[in-house]
Amino acid sequence: MRKQIKLAIFFLSLWTSSLGAENIKVYEPTVKEVDFGKDEADWNRIHKRLRQVNWDEDKLTPAERKLNEKFGIWEGSNSYWSTIDGGDGWYEVHLDTIIASSSLKNQGKYTYDASNVHDYSLKTIWSEGVKGHGVGEYLLFKFEGNSPRVSTITITNGCAQSKVLYEANSRAKKLKVYYNDKPVGILNLKDIRGYQTFETDTFGLGHEGVKPWSLKLEIMEVYPGTKYDDTVITEINLEGPDKPLCFVKGSKVKMADGSNKEIELIKKEDKIAIPSTNGQLKSATVKSVAKAVHDKYVTYNFANGQKLSCTPDHVLVSTRGNVSSAPEQSKQYSNTKEVQKIKIGDTFLIDGKTTALESITESSKSEESYTITELSEGDEFIVNGVIVKAEMRK
Ligand SMILES: [Ca+2]
């Protein structure tokens, strides 16, 4: 009997070491510690002041300006507790669903569902719902086949909103990563409040992908809470190399009522103007928006003095059809298969008049930019007077 057990242990250890021989990588994070809540009052004060002065930062006192250098509050800022400002996250748009193996039952108005780890709110958390520390419990992120690839995972561990709640609940220490149910890595989390960023292998196939795919994060080890066993995660945010094609902050979108609105302020359900076949404008509803940080932009300078700055692959509608500065990259979108290289002298219908492109300038500066990714109707909208495409992934 004893021999059998020994033999079993022997085979078990063979099996685990062969598992270890698989391509399992161990990832260490880059860490940004934040004492969430500590400067909330300051944040709210600056936010209020900026609203009072109609978002003109020059009207703040030097001390207020200095504070806002740290906060970066602007018109699109949602709240102190939001990890994202100005519209939706790109990965929220394309993520199919998040499933948890278990979740703690709702307590009054508090929920602990899987979706809480990807709602960009530091006030909401996922908590596993089994007895003990939840080792073996997991979150499963399911993606559509052509979803943007994932190569960066940023985790806000534990119940990060307060030091007391953070320490009271358990936190993840090691998370095992599965790509399509195959173990591929281990994330070694630190026991800190703040952001922990892991640069991983690249998962998914991007625009070439057809089959749905998944990432699973499974609790392997925890830092035990002082009061509760429940293991808690506040946020898991994803990023990768496939980014939406975007316009720089301040670009003006033509609205259905004829006014113009900065692209960073455009939200779901806004009514914007779109071109129609008879040359007139009509109204369409924004269904989704996205933002991303890019480091390469082009500015198109038109003969009428109009300018438009966007990513090189963003598609503009010229009088000879779809054009962009990087047509090969533009073709990844289902509605922009036919794209030609933009040329000086190409003509565009801007505010009802035919205007030529005079020059193109390139810039390399890392900044946030924005776009509309889905409309209730059509796939074109108007930015700085120019008709552009909303690139559709499906
Ligand atoms: Ca959350």
pLDDT in tens, 310-326: 999 999 999 999 999 99
Query: For 41-57, how does the pLDDT look when each residue is reduced to its tens digit (9 = 90+)?
Result: 999 999 999 999 998 99
Confidence grade of residue 360 (pLDDT, cut at 50, 70, 90): very high
Burial 9-34 (b: 16+ CB within 10 A, else e): eeeeeeeeeeeeeeeeeebebeeeee
Residue 29 has pLDDT above 90, yes or no: yes
Query: For 207-220, how does the pLDDT look when each residue is reduced to its tens digit (9 = 90+)?
Result: 778 899 999 999 99
**Sign of the dihedral through C-alpha 261, 266, 268, 273:** positive
Question: Which pLDDT score, from 0 to 100, does residue 22 have?
Answer: 58
Q: How far is 266 from 284, CA to CA, in rounded Å?
A: 13
What is the distance in A from the centroid of ligand 1 to the CA of 101?
A: 17
Instruction: Map out the domains of the chain with their CATH numbers.
Output: 22-37+80-239 (2.60.120.260), 247-389 (2.170.16.10)
Q: How far is 272 from 258, CA to CA, in rounded Å?
A: 9
Question: Which pLDDT score, from 0 to 100, does residue 16 have?
Answer: 45
Angle, vertex CA 329, rays to CA 325 and CA 335, nearest 5: 100
Q: Yes or no: say if 291 and 370 are a contact pair by the CB < 8 Å rule.
A: yes
What is the distance in A from the centroid of ligand 1 to the CA of 122?
A: 5
Order of strands, sheet of 126-127, starting from the edge strand that comes earlier in the sequence: 30-33, 194-203, 150-157, 232-239, 126-127
Question: Which pLDDT score, from 0 to 100, does residue 332 have?
Answer: 77
In DSSP terms, which residues pair with 355 in a beta bridge?
Answer: 348
What is the distance in A from the centroid of ligand 1 to the CA of 161?
A: 10
Order of strands, sheet of 347-350, starting from the edge strand that comes earlier in the sequence: 271-275, 281-294, 367-375, 247-248, 307-310, 297-302, 353-363, 347-350
Residue 6 has pLDDT above 60, yes or no: no
Question: Which pLDDT score, from 0 to 100, does residue 17 have?
Answer: 44
**Six token digits for residue 385:** 């007077």
CA distances from 356 to 274, 309, 339, 345, 350 (A): 21, 16, 18, 5, 9
Q: What is the mean pLDDT of residues 62-77?
A: 90
Q: How far is 92 from 28, CA to CA, in rounded Å?
A: 25
What is the distance in A from the centroid of ligand 1 to the CA of 304?
A: 47
Q: How far is 284 from 372, CA to CA, in rounded Å?
A: 12
What is the distance in A from the centroid of ligand 1 to the CA of 194?
A: 13
Question: Which pLDDT score, from 0 to 100, does residue 84 have?
Answer: 79
Residue 204 has pLDDT above 50, yes or no: yes
What is the distance in A from the centroid of ligand 1 to the CA of 201?
A: 24
What percent of the chain lies above the pLDDT cut of 90? Answer: 70
In DSSP terms, which residues pair with 121 in a beta bridge?
Answer: 82
Confidence grade of residue 3 (pLDDT, cut at 50, 70, 90): very low
Query: For 159-184, how does the pLDDT look when each residue is reduced to its tens digit (9 = 90+)?
Result: 999 999 999 999 999 999 999 999 99
Question: Which pLDDT score, from 0 to 100, does residue 90 have?
Answer: 62
What is the distance in A from the centroid of ligand 1 to the CA of 72?
A: 21
In DSSP terms, which residues pair with 233 in a beta bridge?
Answer: 126, 157
What is the distance in A from the centroid of ligand 1 to the CA of 137?
A: 18
Confidence grade of residue 388 (pLDDT, cut at 50, 70, 90): very high
Confidence grade of residue 243 (pLDDT, cut at 50, 70, 90): confident
Question: Which pLDDT score, from 0 to 100, does residue 251 have?
Answer: 95
**Six token digits for residue 28:** 């260490």
Confidence grade of residue 276 (pLDDT, cut at 50, 70, 90): confident
What is the distance in A from the centroid of ligand 1 to the CA of 154?
A: 12
Residue 384, Ramachandran bin (φ over 0: left; ψ between -120 and 50: alpha; else beta): left
What is the distance in A from the centroid of ligand 1 to the CA of 155?
A: 10
Burial 339-354 (b: 16+ CB within 10 A, else e): beebeeebebbbeeee
What is the distance in A from the centroid of ligand 1 to the CA of 126?
A: 7
Centre a 10 Å sphere on the Cβ of residue 229 and count the other Cβ atoms it contains: 15
What is the distance in A from the centroid of ligand 1 to the CA of 130?
A: 20
Question: Among 8-12, 138-142, 369-373, which stretch is predicted with the lowest mean pLDDT?
Answer: 8-12
What is the distance in A from the centroid of ligand 1 to the CA of 118?
A: 6
Confidence grade of residue 89 (pLDDT, cut at 50, 70, 90): low
Centre a 10 Å sphere on the Cβ of residue 250 and count the other Cβ atoms it contains: 11
What is the distance in A from the centroid of ligand 1 to the CA of 9?
A: 41
Q: What is the mean pLDDT of residues 321-350?
A: 91
Q: How far is 297 from 253, CA to CA, in rounded Å?
A: 18
Question: Which pLDDT score, from 0 to 100, does residue 163 have?
Answer: 97
DSSP 85-127: -SS-BHHHHHEEEEEES--PPPBTTB---GGGGGSSBTT--EE
Query: Which residue blocks in 81-233 are alpha helix, DSSP H?
Result: 90-94, 163-168
What is the distance in A from the centroid of ligand 1 to the CA of 192?
A: 16
Confidence grade of residue 295 (pLDDT, cut at 50, 70, 90): confident
Question: Which pLDDT score, from 0 to 100, does residue 215 have?
Answer: 97
Average pLDDT, the chain: 90
What is the distance in A from the centroid of ligand 1 to the CA of 172?
A: 15
Q: How far is 319 from 345, CA to CA, in rounded Å?
A: 11
What is the distance in A from the centroid of ligand 1 to the CA of 159?
A: 9
Question: Among 2-6, 39-43, 153-157, 358-362, which stretch is predicted with the lowest mean pLDDT?
Answer: 2-6
Question: Which pLDDT score, from 0 to 100, does residue 352 have?
Answer: 83
What global pTM score does this model have?
A: 0.77
Confidence grade of residue 61 (pLDDT, cut at 50, 70, 90): very high
What is the distance in A from the centroid of ligand 1 to the CA of 119?
A: 5
